[in-house]
Amino acid sequence: MEEHKESGQRDQELPAEKAETKSWHWLLQGLLFLVIAVGGAAAVACLPAFTLQDIRVEGNSYVPAEEICRIAGVYRGEHMLQVKTDAAARTLIRDLRIEQAEVRRVFPGELVIEVKERLPVARVICDYGYLDVDHQGMVLSAYRTPKARTIPLITGVKMHDLYIGDAVEDAAVQKLLEYLNMLNPEERQQINEIALVRPDYAVAYTAGAVQIRIGASDRLDAKAALTQDFLAELKTAKHPIEYIDLSFATPFIKFREGK
């Protein structure tokens, strides 16, 4: 009887031992698979195909692509997985000329940097030279001698104690920047100067010395739309125009009198 009981106990212990052995077998298999998977991924990641071969910069027209790459701290030849895309984007927007930035990988070997620049829309006179400012009045660059005219110069007012990174707070200048920002770049480049004749009255001058009498800072969206159309049509105008007056609800155009 005792032998029969011992035999029965051994029979009950055998399935438990087999289950435990099977459990360890599956565990070892899982660990082996994990090691192989991690090793394989590491080996693939180290392949030359994952080296950064091309950097594509999009959205820039003011800051050169080479400078954007330098600011972001990314260079061809480094490993794709070593590029910290979030850190590169944060570094870019610390530059005053860049308003927004996104950096993303495109495997196997390309990096895309997409930026939105703070573009200068006007130049203002300051106590030591000139300032280029964006549509919000932020000073993007400062210099003593005038550059080639690529953006309108605002005259009739002078800024004091402003440097790169500062903001223009003059209310009349801010209104003119708002007006200029509503123009397309192509039409905006046709304006050489905007003179603040009075704090509440402005006149713009084209490269051909045609006046655009903006007047007061009211109805700026409507005045900007009219300016846009006028400048587009001015290129093909058959008769020389002296000025357009936008200070009235209905614009008035005066043609130049013949000699």
- Return the SS3 of 106: strand
Q: How far apart are CA 103 and CA 87, in angstroms?
A: 9
Phi, psi angles (nearest 5°) of residue 245: -105, 110
Assigned architecture for domain 48-117: Roll (3.10)
Indicate whether 12 pLDDT > 60. no
Q: Is the pLDDT of residue 242 over 80?
A: yes
For 196, which DSSP code? E
With a cut of 60, say whether residue 38 has pLDDT above it: no
With 70 as the cut, is the pLDDT of residue 178 above it?
yes
What is the residue-wise DSSP string for 217-251?
SSSHHHHHHHHHHHHHHHTT-SS-EEEEE-SSSS-
Taking residues 205-224, report their average pLDDT: 92
What would the two tokens of residue 174 be? 């801010």
pTM across the whole model? 0.68
When mean pLDDT is compared across 66-70, 76-80, 89-93, the lowest value belongs to: 76-80
- Average pLDDT, stretch 74-97? 90
The structural architecture, per CATH, of the domain 122-255 is 3-Layer(aba) Sandwich (3.40)
User: What confidence tens digit (pLDDT) does each residue in 95-141 have?
Assistant: 988 999 999 988 888 899 999 988 899 999 999 999 999 999 999 98
Query: If phi over 0 gives left and psi between -120 and 50 gives alpha, with beta otherwise, what is residue 73?
Result: left
What is the signed CA dihedral for 154, 157, 159, 164, rounded to 10 degrees?
A: -10
Q: Is the pLDDT score of 39 beyond 70?
A: no
Which phi and psi angles does 149 have, rounded to 5°?
A: -75, 105
Domain spans in the chain, listed from the N-terminal domain onward: 48-117, 122-255
What single letter denotes the amino acid at residue 234? L
Looking at the predicted structure, is the pLDDT value of residue 181 above 60?
yes
Q: The tokens of 72 are what?
A: 């972001």
Torsions phi, psi for 80 (to 5 deg): -55, -40
Q: What are phi and psi of 129, to 5 degrees?
A: 155, -115
3-state SS assignment for residue 180:
helix
**What is the percentage of the chain residues whose pLDDT exceeds 70?**
80
Residue 245: pLDDT band (50, 70, 90) is very high
What is the phi-psi region of residue 92: left when phi exceeds 0, alpha when psi lies from -120 to 50, beta otherwise? alpha
Q: Does 220 or 26 have the greater pLDDT score?
A: 220
Which residues, in sequence order, are bridge partners of residue 159?
126
Please provide the size of the chain in residues: 259
Mean pLDDT of the chain: 83
Per-residue pLDDT band at 35 (split at 50, 70, 90)? low
Tokens of 247: 């200070």
Mean pLDDT in residue range 14-30: 57
pLDDT mean over 195-208: 92
Residue 40 has pLDDT above 50, yes or no: no
